Amino acid sequence: MSMFYRSTRDDNVRVTASQAILKGLAADGGLFVPESIPSLDKSLEELSKMNYKEVAYEVMKLMLDDFTEEELKSCIDRAYDSKFDTEEMTPLVKVENEYFLELFHGATIAFKDMALSILPHLLTTSAKKNNVKNEIVILTATSGDTGKAALAGFANVPGTKIIVFYPKNGVSPIQEKQMVTQKGDNTYVIGIKGNFDDAQTGVKNIFSDKELEKVMNDAGFQFSSANSINIGRLVPQIVYYVYAYAKLLANGEIKDGEKINVVVPTGNFGNILAAFYAKNMGLPINKFICASNENKVLYDFFTTGEYDRNREFVLTTSPSMDILISSNLERLIYRIAGNNAAKNAELMASLKSEGKYKITDDMKAQLADFYGNYATEAEDASTIKKIYEDCGYVIDTHTSVAATVYDKYRKETGDTTKTVIASTASPYKFTRSVMNAIDSKYDSMGDFELVDELSKISNVKVPNAIEEIRTAPVLHDTVCDSDKMCDEVKKILGI
């Protein structure tokens, strides 16, 4: 075993992959990062002949090398099964000259399923490997998609409880209905009065409460996270970029070794960071195109080198990206700071106290592979309409942010490199925004009338994830102030 993980804020913290997955967040508030990123040990040609599960094993065995072959293959088999509505898991759809990587064919019709269907199995396997006797309490903040995907993944998994916090008025009606109707004796959903950043900060504060940790341990509980701060979320996301490249190669769309661009609609920065890790493992990626909505904190960062969350929080039609604190960016900052935990900790302390930090010119020079831009609400809607009218293909509001930014990138640079756009959610998850973009006449319809209308115009069957919530009863109706999140957790655990 050679793979260890360090905290981005303390060089002395060194743990195995399974320990990092169990902890979720380092005790110092840092995120776990690999000491070094291993290279793929199968050629791209070999990978192009494999199915999704086989590629998943080849990628994940390198990053999670304290799992045995049997353990890892068992986790992969249990995760990527009939929960997905297509055998390919992540179909690559060519629309004109772009390739949309559809990451929404899992149980909750969003890209989070790709990682959150395997995380419960990685976590329970990690607990056994480390002789953990405590019940694991998954604590998660969501801007809409992580919550439902985590709830679905952990529902009724023995030895776990899951508590999800979401901004009460900051998710789509379908997203909320998916969460509040979730079954499972171990599932809890709480709306907070505030935005996603308030929820995420509240969860991080609960994680770092040492007194609470002791009380929990005495009561037989310990926290872990299903957010993308958990390395067990990030590693499975590397897989679909490798698989996408392998499919392009298998389909004769690219030559072996030919570089591609990747466009990712980005909020918490985990999905695009997974692509960055894929490149570091040997995948030929030319540019990482980071697409933001009107909460364009990442666009400003890539443009100026300053990360500044001191700005108005905008509620958009792409709510999963309505984020001003992009947690996973810390992993990239640590990397461009020369894996210097002290330097990174100083920048993160500045973010906490002043709401901003500025990287050095040397650090900014290492971001040459990244391009950032953003889409306004009007541009987002216009792109949905244009792609539908030109090609008959319907995309959701987040994927549209990516398509809009890619169009800007191409016009700005003239770059004709073949490009994969991460299609992160089904249009069925955001039917009202999508249908309104196509034609304002749909605005008078009810949420589920819109679902049926979308099925008609797109010739795509209504996903099971939507059918099952049409008449499902609300099972979770708790709402609290963001400063009362810890009290709610204690109430649920009876401590």
pLDDT digit string, tens, across residues 282-303: 999 999 999 999 999 999 999 9
Is residue 212 included in any domain, yes or no? yes
Residues 316 and 374 grouped into a single domain? yes
Taking phi over 0 as left and psi of -120 to 50 as alpha, with beta for the rest, 385 belongs to alpha
Are the CB atoms for 271 and 401 separated by under 8 Å?
no
Q: Which residue, 408, 425, 442, sits at the end of a domain? A: 425
The radius of gyration of the chain's CA atoms, rounded to the nearest angstrom, is: 21
186 is a domain residue: yes
Q: What is the pLDDT of residue 1?
A: 64
- Boundary-marking domain end, from 397, 425, 453: 425
% of the chain residues with pLDDT over 70: 100
Distance (Å, rounded) from C-alpha 116 to C-alpha 106?
Answer: 10
The pLDDT tens digits of the residues spanning 109-145 come to 999 999 999 999 999 999 999 999 999 999 999 988 8
State the helix-helix crossing angle for 145-154 and 119-129, rounded to 10 degrees.
Answer: 50
Using the structure block, give the residue that is written with the tokens 């957790």.
Answer: 489
Do 260 and 321 belong together in one domain?
A: yes
Domains in the chain: how many in total?
2
CATH of residue 267's domain is 3.40.50.1100
Q: Check whether 225 has a pLDDT greater than 90.
A: no
Claim to verify: residue 418 and residue 480 sit in the same structural domain: no
User: What single-letter amino acid sits at 263?
Assistant: V
Whether 377 and 317 have beta carbons less than 8 Å apart is answered as yes
d(C-alpha 65, C-alpha 35), whole Å: 13
Q: Is position 14 within any domain?
A: no
Residue 373 inside a domain? The answer is yes
Residues 202 and 349 in one domain: no
Q: Are residues 371 and 312 both part of a single domain?
A: yes
With respect to residue 77, please indicate whether it lies within any of the assigned structural domains: no
pLDDT number for residue 139: 94
Whether the predicted pLDDT of 162 surpasses 90: yes
User: Do 484 and 350 share a domain, yes or no?
Assistant: no
The residue segments making up the domain with residue 155 are 134-218+462-494
- Known active-site residue 183: no
Q: Which band of pLDDT confidence, cut at 50, 70 and 90, is reported for residue 108?
A: very high
Strand order in the sheet with 221-224: 221-224, 135-141, 160-167, 187-193, 478-481
One domain for residues 377 and 316: yes
Q: Are residues 417 and 316 in the same domain?
A: yes
On the question of pLDDT at 469 being above 70, the answer is yes
Q: What are phi and psi of 75, to 5 degrees?
A: -60, -45
Average pLDDT over residues 459-469: 94
- Mean pLDDT (whole number) for 148-171: 94
Quick check: is 351 in a domain?
yes
Q: Of 376, 398, 425, which residue constitutes the final position of a domain?
A: 425
287 domain-assigned: yes
61-81 mean pLDDT: 97
pTM, full prediction: 0.93
Q: Which of 23, 42, 61, 112 is catalytic?
A: 112
Kindly state whether residue 297 falls inside one of the protein's structural domains: yes
248-268 as b/e: b if 16+ CB within 10 A: bbbeeebeeeeebbbbbbbbb
379-428 residue pLDDT tens? 999 999 999 999 999 999 999 999 999 999 999 999 999 999 999 999 99
Cα–Cα distance list, 45 to 99, 175, 428 (Å): 20, 39, 35
Structure confidence at residue 345 (pLDDT): 97
Same domain, 257 and 361: yes
Q: How many helices (H) and strands (E) does the chain have?
A: 22, 16
The reply to whether 193 and 245 lie within a common domain is no
- Label residue 2 by pLDDT band (50, 70, 90): confident
| Per-residue pLDDT tens over the stretch 332-359 | 999 999 999 999 999 999 999 999 999 9
Residue 209 neighbours by CB distance under 10 Å: 15
Given a contact cutoff of 8 angstroms between Cβ atoms, the answer to whether 434 and 427 are in contact is yes
Q: Are 414 and 480 part of one and the same domain?
A: no
Rounded mean pLDDT of the chain?
Answer: 96
pLDDT for the residue numbered 228: 84
- Cβ atoms 324, 295 nearer than 8 A: yes
Tell me, yes or no, whether 278 and 171 share the same domain.
no
